[in-house]
């Protein structure tokens, strides 16, 4: 539920200091008792885990084993294995809503859906100090602060099989006690040798286990300043991987960052998510890519390409499988989440794998894929068996085991990037948070077990292929366990050609660490395989930091016959910003291999070679926007090589692809010369320029963008929205006049005219959040005078002749700007039966707010209209114009057979009346409600109206006290009927906290995490719908409930409930080969029955109002 904002706006506007001054730190609070490993019911956990396997669907012949279960691990977010085969688990006990002793707790890691009162402060936050101060502001009591943010911990545990029995037998706490107010979620983990890296907002941690006892001896914060916002829970730091360059790569969701590197460089990405990298000791920290929402895991393939799965915003958009490239922007901004339509993200389809390619400033996804992407891994070459080689495995966390899957994804080249060749379910039926290959070649799947917040359980399942090359897997396991330190140069060189990516990388890193330039050079020039050569090139790149002379070898490889070697040589030279290769890199822009051209473009972006500009333009012209990744490389190259004047000069280039690329390069330079493209003949180029000026923003070019308002040829809504907002942000009298002239022009675009009037209505006291992007961009306060002076002479004409949507906005502006003298025009609009309903309604509202003399006439006009909704509004207007006389009309409506909408309007009119007579009428209605004499459709209206009257508090209490104690729905039955289905649809699809569309398909969408509700009204009554929302575990829909049936003959049936009668239960279970089969069980033979809980959160009833609940029930009941 949204609550009034309690923040000092003046404090939020401060730009040079933290948003709030933090009070003294709260006294330390004793930590909550941790979940101990070794206690609990391990036998029960093992039984539940074994039963869970019986519900999974997987490949025939695949061997699936329960490798570990609670209490050895609990609430496992992610995991990683070291060379010894130990598994390091990132556990979280800080999740808001996690149940302790059956009761949900604050946890410590919360998100904005349950704290909408601090949304503005969270959006404004730019540092972790800002966020901490905000937390203290809203939790000023030290005790409550500690209870909410410092009680529970996140930690790391190590699980291992010490006996070689094929199952975990030991669990050790590696590091714990992470419960500072800013901590969490600890979501990314990586182990190598005796070192462990862990991402736990606000820090990147490094641990050392010097004696190998699976306990940290030393811990160090390498970098801090991550998570400047709360945003959404789970949008944390994760994805730790070593890249081919020896650097540590990791990700952060849209909680953002503001980090000072060890070298003193400040990096701020505070409004979106990012991909990051640094050396293993934290040095050379940099932002690699941006614009991601929640990239939970990263993975490199054998050629060093980086991938992630990124989540959707639960508004009809789709999750994405993304090829991450240096400097890439995927288009997401954290604030889009709080716009009903998600702003440009949905308006411009930036998330779409096809339409997204049209936006030149972003890197579009490879494919829209999955619902809740989390863990991600790639077959290192010896995993499972040959059938599974070259495949990605993506955990799809959907809140419940039944709908969750591990995807298997195969890619194939598509220019400089990739396309999905094949996608299938590798396993379905496990609530997986992560997936990784073990040193033994098996695929391990991490299981959260149930719920969104954790139930202190956890499992690891092991998948082994029947046709695995066990000899090769055993060899890899041995090589990894022994390590690389003691191996000779010859042996390491040979291992660069090993079939397993992990072995090859370990050998490369060891050669680079030893500084063995000779071996690396030999491998790069004449390695046994292309992969061996590439590892040699990468190793030289690592070593070149200490000995730059080795790059001469790499430069020579730009002429190699092997295209991939050429590409990787360009990559390494770019990573080292090696200017000595500029001429060869320019030549590579014409290479037949698109990947070579791509890496050449990225490399030139760093060397700043001005002579590369024309060849880069030529490459972009040839590409013609067909390959978005190659386009990105060209843009990056131009941004680094060409100055603003050279880029602006391309405004007359015949190629739209070149002009568009020049715009984005200027955008990256934040140059006002981008304005040269605002009058381009191609609307896609104009849109790109408008995005640059408005979205970045580039203030110096804002007047040029605003000036486009006079261009009649512009019909693109997304351009028009930015033009209008440019005027709004400039905020001068001339801008108000320009908006008015545009709004009054009957030949102008309707969407733009409407937006212009909305901007004028909001002229004074502008919201510090940008109107289109919702980003924190405060404007100075200004009076209404300019807007009022501009609109007053034009308002009558707009109200009389504009289209309905424009008239509606004009009526709103009239009221907000207090445009006296417009009463006749507003009255005429109310009386015009052919005008739009919304415009007529807003005209009534305006007359009431203005206290215009025409209000009484307008009310009478409305009361005689055919539309019951307008008649209902007429009742409110009548009460406002003549409160005493209006009561007779209200009373008549309530006692008549008027439509529900009109009766609801009558009650609302009573609620607004301050007269004693109105209270007397309400008292009578409450008496009828208590007596059960009020129609269900109006009960909520009567109750809400009475609650506003102190004099009726006794009757309200009497009604509440009379609710049947044995009916859990009693307090919600007021919402069972009488809602507005249109409002309900909007809530279902767009509500920031309810997020029904995230899991349910209804009138579009493709999510089937929960049942398809498109025709629920045809098969279920309103009580069922209401109960399912309030108590989702009471009746879980058939096909989505996992049941465990223990039978009288001591056998067990586990599976998905398909159908149920009084005599029989039909269950879909899975045989030992992973093949589904249907089993019919007689009810009389069932001894005990248990069910997995619904993934639908029970806290939903606390996050929407009763009115919103009624609207959703109404909407769903109409779906037939």
In a domain, 328, yes or no: yes
Cis peptide bond upstream of 696, omega within 30: no
Q: CB neighbours of 736 closer than 8 A, spacing ≥ 6?
A: 727, 760, 763, 786, 787, 789, 790, 791
* Residue range 531-578, pLDDT digits in tens: 999 999 999 999 999 999 999 999 999 999 999 999 999 999 999 999
Same domain, 1087 and 999: no
β-strand 405-414 against 417-428: which pairing, if any? Answer: antiparallel
Q: Is residue 763 part of a domain?
A: yes
Six-digit token string for 72: 């050895």
pLDDT on residue 1003: 67
HEC profile of 730-770: HCCHHHHHHHHHHHHCCCCCHHHHHHHHHHHHCCCCCCCEC
* Residues 803-812: tens digit of each pLDDT: 999 999 999 9
Distance CA 773, CA 892 (A): 48
pTM: 0.89
On whether both 64 and 205 belong to a single domain, the answer is: yes
Closest CA to 87 of 499, 442, 454: 442
Mean pLDDT of the chain: 92
Indicate whether 990 and 1061 sit together in one domain.
no
- pLDDT (tens digit, 9 = 90+) per residue, 971-987? 899 999 999 988 888 88
CATH number at residue 274: 2.120.10.30
| Same-domain check for residues 1019 and 1061 | no
Q: Is residue 330 part of a domain?
A: yes
CATH number of the structural domain spanning residue 997: 1.10.760
The total of structural domains in the chain comes to 4
**What are the angstrom distances between the C-alpha of 640 and each of 545, 686, 720, 816, 1068?**
22, 23, 31, 48, 59
Same domain, 215 and 355: yes
Q: Is residue 375 part of a domain?
A: yes
One domain, residues 988 and 1085: no
Query: What was the pLDDT predicted at 41?
Result: 62
- Identify the pLDDT of residue 986: 84
Confidence (pLDDT) at 5: 27
Statement: residue 936 has pLDDT above 50? yes
Query: At which of 823, 853, 883 does a domain end?
Result: 853
pLDDT digits (tens, 9 = 90+) for 705-738: 999 999 988 999 999 999 999 999 999 999 999 9
Cα separation, 830 vs 1098, in Å, equals: 44
Give a three-class secondary structure readout of 906-955.
HHHHHHHCCCHHHHHHHHHHHHHHHCCCCCHHHHHHHHHHHHCCHHHHHH
Render pLDDT for 572-620 as a digit per residue (tens, 0 to 9).
999 999 999 999 999 999 999 999 999 999 999 999 999 999 999 999 9
**CA gyration radius for the chain?**
32
DSSP 3-state assignment of 299? strand
**Over 60: is that where the pLDDT of 7 sits?**
no
Assign 294 to helix, strand or coil.
coil
- Where does the pLDDT of residue 998 fall: very low under 50, low under 70, confident under 90, or very high at 90 and above? low
Neighbouring C-beta atoms of residue 781, cutoff 10 Å? 10
In a domain, 157, yes or no: yes
**pLDDT on residue 37:** 56
Please, are residues 752 and 723 in contact by the beta-carbon 8 Å criterion? yes
Establish if 215 belongs to a structural domain. Answer: yes
In a domain, 439, yes or no: yes
* The Cα angle at residue 732 between residues 730 and 738, in degrees rounded to 5: 90
Integer Cα distance of 73 and 310 in angstroms: 26
Q: What is the DSSP letter of 971?
A: G
Rounded CA-CA distance 655/616 in Å is: 13
- Give the burial string for 628-661 (b: 16+ CB within 10 Å, else e): bbbbbbbbbbbbbbbebebbbebbebebbbbbbb
Q: Which residue is listed with tokens 């955008």?
A: 667
**Residue % of the chain over a pLDDT of 90:** 76
Burial of 273 (0-12, 13-18, 19+ CB in 10 A): buried
Q: What is the pLDDT of residues 670-711, one digit of tens each?
A: 999 999 999 999 999 999 999 999 999 999 999 999 999 999
177 within some domain:
yes
Task: Report the 3 state secondary structure along 507-535.
Answer: HHHHHHHHCCHHHHHHHHHHCCCHHHHHH
Answer yes or no: do 764 and 778 share one domain: yes
Domain end (from 853, 870, 890):
853
| Res 28: pLDDT | 45
pLDDT in tens, 878-925: 988 888 888 889 999 998 999 999 999 999 999 988 889 999 999 999
Cα atoms found within 13 Å of the Cα of residue 612, Cβ hemisphere only: 33
**Max CA distance (Å), the chain:** 101
3-state DSSP assignment of residue 602: helix
Q: Are residues 840 and 985 in the same domain?
A: no
Q: Does residue 998 sit in the same domain as residue 1086? A: no
C-beta of residue 406 within 8 angstroms of C-beta of residue 435: yes
pLDDT at 12: 29
Does one domain contain both 756 and 800?
Answer: yes
Count of residues making up the chain: 1120
> For residues 463 and 443, is the Cβ–Cβ distance under 8 A?
yes
Task: Give yes or no: residues 848 and 985 share one domain.
Answer: no
999: containing domain: 981-1037+1097-1117
Q: Which of 1038, 1073, 1032, 1070 is nearest to 1057 (CA)?
A: 1038
Contacts 24+ apart (CB under 8 A), 1001-1004: 1002/1116, 1002/1119, 1003/1119, 1004/316
**pLDDT tens digits for 20-78?**
333 333 334 456 655 655 445 678 889 999 999 998 999 999 999 999 999 999 999 99
Whether residues 1055 and 1012 share a domain: the answer is: no
Residue (of 53, 179, 716) closest to 447 by Cα position: 53
Q: Which of 828, 853, 878 is the last residue of a domain?
A: 853
- Per the model's pLDDT, the better-predicted residue between 601 and 1022 turns out to be 601
When pLDDT is cut at 50, 70 and 90, the band that residue 1038 belongs to is low
**What are 407's strand-pairing partners?**
394, 425
Nearest residue to 193 (alpha-carbon basis) of 299, 81, 78, 301: 81
Confidence (pLDDT) at 1073: 65
d(CA 1095, CA 398): 8
């Amino acid at each position: 539920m949204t609550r009034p904002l309690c923040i000092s706006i003046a404090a939020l506007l401060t730009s040079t200091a933290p948003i709030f001054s933090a009070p003294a730190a709260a006294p330390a609070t004793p930590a909550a008792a941790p979940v101990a490993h070794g206690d609990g019911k391990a036998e029960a956990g093992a039984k539940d885990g074994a039963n869970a396997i019986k519900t999974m669907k997987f490949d025939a012949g695949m061997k699936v084993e329960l490798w570990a279960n609670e209490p050895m691990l609990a609430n496992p977010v992610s995991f990683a294995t070291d060379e010894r085969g130990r598994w390091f688990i990132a556990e979280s006990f800080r999740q808001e809503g996690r149940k302790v002793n059956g009761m949900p707790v604050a946890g410590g890691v919360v998100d904005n859906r349950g704290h909408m009162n601090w949304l503005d402060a969270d959006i404004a936050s730019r540092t972790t100090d800002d966020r901490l101060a905000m937390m203290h502001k809203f939790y000023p009591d030290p005790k409550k602060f500690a209870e909410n943010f410092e009680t529970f911990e996140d930690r790391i545990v190590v699980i291992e099989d010490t006996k070689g029995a094929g199952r975990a037998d030991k669990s050790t706490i590696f590091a714990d006690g992470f419960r500072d107010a800013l901590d969490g979620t600890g979501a990314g983990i990586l182990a190598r040798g005796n070192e462990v890296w862990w991402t736990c907002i606000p820090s990147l941690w490094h641990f050392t286990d010097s004696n190998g006892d699976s306990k940290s001896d030393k811990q160090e914060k390498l970098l801090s300043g991550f998570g400047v916002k709360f945003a959404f829970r789970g949008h944390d730091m994760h994805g730790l991987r070593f890249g081919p360059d020896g650097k540590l790569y990791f990700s952060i969701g849209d909680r953002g960052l503001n980090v000072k590197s060890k070298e003193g460089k400040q990096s701020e990405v505070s409004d979106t998510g990012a991909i990051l990298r640094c050396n293993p000791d934290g040095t050379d920290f940099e932002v690699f890519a941006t614009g991601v929402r929640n990239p939970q895991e990263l993975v490199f393939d054998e050629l060093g390409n980086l991938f992630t799965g990124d989540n959707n915003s639960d508004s009809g958009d789709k999750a994405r499988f993304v090829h991450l490239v240096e400097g890439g922007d995927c288009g997401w901004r954290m604030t889009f989440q709080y716009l009903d339509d998600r702003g440009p993200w949905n308006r411009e389809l930036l998330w779409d794998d096809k339409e997204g390619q049209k936006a030149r400033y972003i890197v579009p996804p490879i494919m829209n894929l999955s619902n809740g992407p989390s863990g991600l891994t790639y077959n290192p070459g010896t995993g499972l068996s040959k059938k599974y080689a070259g495949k990605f495995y993506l955990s799809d966390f959907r809140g419940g085991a039944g709908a969750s899957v591990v995807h298997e994804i195969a890619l194939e080249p598509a220019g400089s990037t990739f396309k999905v060749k094949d996608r299938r379910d590798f396993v379905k039926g496990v609530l997986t948070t992560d997936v990784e290959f073990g040193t033994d070649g098996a695929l391990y799947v991490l299981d959260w077990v149930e719920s969104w917040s954790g139930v202190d359980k956890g499992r690891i399942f092991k998948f082994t292929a029947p046709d695995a090359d066990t000899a090769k897997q055993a060899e890899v396991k041995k090589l990894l366990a022994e390590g690389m330190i003691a191996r000779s140069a010859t042996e390491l060189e040979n291992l660069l050609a090993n079939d397993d990516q992990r072995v090859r990388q370990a050998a490369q890193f060891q050669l680079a660490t030893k500084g063995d330039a000779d071996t690396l050079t030999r491998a790069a020039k004449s390695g046994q395989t292309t992969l061996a050569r590439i590892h040699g090139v990468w190793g030289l790149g690592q070593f070149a930091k200490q000995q730059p002379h080795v790059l001469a070898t790499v430069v020579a490889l730009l002429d190699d016959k092997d295209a991939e070697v050429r590409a990787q040589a360009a990559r390494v030279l770019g990573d080292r910003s090696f200017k000595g290769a500029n001429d060869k890199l320019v030549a590579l822009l014409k290479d037949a291999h698109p990947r070579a051209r791509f890496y050449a473009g990225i490399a030139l972006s760093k060397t700043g070679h001005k002579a590369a500009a024309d060849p880069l333009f030529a490459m972009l012209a040839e590409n013609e926007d067909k390959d978005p990744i190659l386009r990105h490389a060209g843009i990056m190259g131009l941004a680094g090589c060409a100055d603003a004047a050279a880029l602006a000069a391309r405004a007359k280039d015949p190629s739209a692809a070149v002009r568009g690329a020049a715009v984005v390069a200027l955008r990256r330079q934040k140059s006002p010369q981008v304005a040269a493209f605002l009058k381009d003949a191609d609307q896609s180029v104009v849109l790109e320029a408008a995005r640059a000026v408005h979205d970045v923003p580039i203030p110096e070019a804002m007047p040029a963008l605003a000036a486009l308002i006079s261009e009649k040829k512009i019909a693109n809504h997304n351009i028009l929205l930015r033009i209008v907002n440019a005027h709004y942000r400039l905020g001068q009298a001339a801008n108000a006049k320009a908006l008015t002239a545009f709004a009054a022009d009957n030949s102008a675009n309707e969407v733009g005219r409407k937006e212009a009037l909305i901007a004028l209505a909001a002229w004074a006291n502008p919201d510090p959040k940008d109107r289109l992007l919702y980003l924190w961009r405060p404007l100075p306060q200004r009076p209404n005078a300019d807007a009022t002076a501009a609109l007053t002479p034009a308002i009558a004409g707009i109200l009389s002749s504009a289209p309905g949507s424009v008239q509606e906005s004009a009526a709103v502006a009239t009221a907000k700007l207090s445009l006296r003298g417009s009463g006749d025009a507003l009255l005429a609009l109310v009386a015009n039966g052919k005008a739009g309903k919304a415009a007529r309604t807003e005209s009534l509202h305006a007359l009431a707010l203005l206290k215009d003399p025409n209000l009484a006439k307008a009310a009478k006009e409305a009361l005689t209209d055919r539309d019951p909704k307008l008649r209902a509004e007429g009742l409110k207007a009548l009460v406002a114009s003549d409160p005493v006389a209006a009561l007779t009309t209200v009373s008549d409506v309530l006692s008549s057979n008027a439509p529900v909408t009109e009766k609801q309007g009558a009650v609302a009119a009573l609620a607004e009346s301050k007269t004693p007579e109105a209270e007397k009428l309400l008292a009578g209605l409450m008496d009828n409600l208590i007596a059960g004499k009020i129609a269900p459709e109006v009960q909520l209206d009567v109750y809400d109206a009475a609650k506003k009257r102190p004099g009726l508090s006794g009757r309200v209490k009497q009604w509440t006290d009379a609710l049947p104690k044995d009916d859990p729905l009693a307090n919600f039955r007021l919402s069972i009927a009488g809602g507005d289905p249109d409002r309900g649809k909007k809530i279902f699809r767009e509500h920031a906290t309810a997020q029904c569309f995230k899991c349910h398909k209804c009138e579009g969408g493709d999510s089937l995490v929960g049942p398809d509700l498109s025709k629920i009204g045809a098969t279920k009554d309103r009580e069922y719908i209401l109960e399912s929302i309030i108590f989702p575990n009471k009746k879980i829909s058939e096909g989505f409930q996992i049941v465990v049936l223990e039978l009288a003959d001591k056998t067990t049936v586990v599976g998905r409930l398909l159908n149920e009668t009084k005599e029989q239960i039909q269950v879909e279970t899975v045989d030992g080969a992973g093949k589904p089969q249907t089993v019919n069980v007689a009810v009389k033979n069932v001894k005990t029955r248990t069910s997995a809980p619904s993934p639908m959160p029970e806290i939903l009833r606390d996050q929407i109002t009763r009115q919103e609940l009624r609207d959703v029930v109404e909407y769903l009941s109409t779906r037939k």
